[in-house]
Structure 1
Amino acid sequence: MLLKFTTSDMLNTALIDVTTGERAYNIVTVLSPSKIAKPSSLPEALKMQSPANAVASTSKHVEANPVVVQRRTTITDATGKIIADMEWNGRHPDITIVDEKVGALTDLFGTSVVRFLPKTLSIPTRFDTEYIWIATPDTLTLYDYDTDSTKGTFHQNVIRIPTSLKSSAKLNLPSSPSKNRLSSYTSSSSSSSSSEDLHSPSKDTAKATFIQTHVPGLGSNYLEFNSHPLCHDVEIIISFLMMEMLRRGRFILTPYTFEKPKLWQLREAKDLVMRRIRRNTV
């Protein structure tokens, strides 16, 4: 499956199924101003495992007794039915998927142990111990160690060029009579095989080229993944959202902010330019 984000704000966006062109999911996050909580009232396990921890560890300044604002993120399917819900206490999620109360991040990933390597963050999935999320400063992938293959990829700030556009010029060229006879002979078999290709989750990427712009806001964001028989697709989507927040915190990238997402994107572009300047001057 290949899903396109309609906005740069990953918690307020529609996800378009590239194969059909239809809206597959809708993600909306709203503020609950009447619900606030002190950090001391949060469960300890929820404090220990959250996307905010990696960000907080890089900051020496801690605000005294801050007020934690509560928000709610809902994910609906194409029919408008709510299939997932995340209650946020600050940056600490409490997750529900379909009718299952999952809980905190430790429950979503099925582990409290995180492997920190110098340039890699690896976290397993709860539905398959061989499925591992692997994050680096520049990439986020879902890898299956059982088959040694990639099952999910985040394409960020890219321009997608379908392969069919590249080959259209060749298809429009006049062909020889012998080729015409050959095409008429194979038309029935090719039509059946092409219909099968449309249903293959990996064919969308195979028929397209992703060109990275390396500029936040220029291009689009895509989430590509294969479905797993032991979990709902929305669980993979939620796991991706949490991993992207963790990735940003772990590698000291521009953290996701609930407020003013457009300003967050400008800040991300500024931070990217500054990192490149520092890298080139070292």
Structure 2
Amino acid sequence: MLLKFTSEDLFDTELVDVATGQLAFRLSTAVLTGPSAGLVRRETEIRDGAGAIVATIGWKGRSPESITLLDESVGGLVELFASSTIQFIPKEISIPTRFDTEYLWTATPDSLYLLDYDSDTRMAQLHMHAPALKATHAPLPGRGAVYLELSPHPQGLAPPVEILVTLLMLDILRRGRFNLTPYAFAPPSRFRKAWARIRPRRNTI
């Protein structure tokens, strides 16, 4: 499956299936509390193509503080990666997944992917600012964009939204580790500010 981000803001965008043109995911981020309350708190909602919420990310400043995937309250980055230690090889980050001991989240200064260690196959990959791609993954002329390429886990141990969220979190780690430009949230528009104040909150009980 090849999904295209429709915006350069990876946490405020839609992901569209390149082969079918159908909406796969929609990510939107709203400010919950402003600087007067300390660090800005935000929440990112991820909805599937039918509009159902399938994941949320709670932010404190630029740090992801709480993550939910489907009906599971995962916690923070330590729980998402199921590890309190990260292996830093020169110019590479390598982290075992929480769902399969043979899978590794891997990041370098210019790549982000999920590796099946046994077969040495990339099961998912974020193509950052890549040349335009079509469903056959052949490049098309035009400005670069961001794509998510993924294959379902053979045993269904990881839903696509978990792969999406974890690769985005890995990008946050990658930027800090390799001194790349840190992710910056776009300033909220007046509409977003108003919606953040009036939108109904989910029942979390």
Name the amino acid aligned to 2:150. F
Structure having the higher strand fraction is 2
Q: What secondary structure sits across from 1:247 in the alignment?
A: helix
Q: What secondary structure sits across from 1:246 in the alignment?
A: helix
Q: What secondary structure sits across from 2:138 in the alignment?
A: strand
Aligned residue number for residue 227 of structure 1: 152
Higher relative contact order (CA 8 A, sep 6+): 1
Q: Structure 1 residues 147 and 113, CA, compared in 2 at 3 Å: closer, same or farther? A: same
For residues 13 and 147 of structure 1, what CA distance do their matches in structure 2 show? 33
Equivalenced residues, count: 185
Calculate the aligned-residue CA RMSD, in Å: 2.1
Q: Is 2:5 aligned against 1:2?
A: no
Structure having the higher helix fraction is 1
Aligned residue number for residue 115 of structure 2: 143
Aligned residue number for residue 71 of structure 1: 42
TM-score with structure 2 setting the length: 0.83
Q: What secondary structure sits across from 1:208 in the alignment?
A: coil
1:190-201 equivalences under 5 Å are none
Q: Structure 1 residues 223 and 36, CA, compared in 2 at 3 Å: closer, same or farther? A: farther
Unaligned runs of 5+ in 1: 38-66, 163-203, 262-282
Higher Cα Rg, which structure: 1
Name the amino acid aligned to 1:87. G
Aligned residue number for residue 138 of structure 2: 209
Aligned residue number for residue 193 of structure 2: none
Q: Deviation digits for residues 210-249 of structure 1, max 9, x if unmatched? A: 3798xxxx42110101112112110000001101111111
- 1:125 alignment partner, one of 76, 81, 97: 97
Shift of 1:139: 1.1
Q: Is 2:182 aligned against 1:255?
A: yes
Aligned residue number for residue 269 of structure 1: none
Name the amino acid aligned to 1:14. E
Aligned residue number for residue 273 of structure 1: none
Q: Percent identity?
A: 46
Could you list the structure 1 runs, at least 4 aligned residues long, displaced by more than 6 angstroms after superposition: none
Name the amino acid aligned to 1:9. D
Q: Is 2:80 aligned against 1:108?
A: yes
TM-score with structure 1 setting the length: 0.62
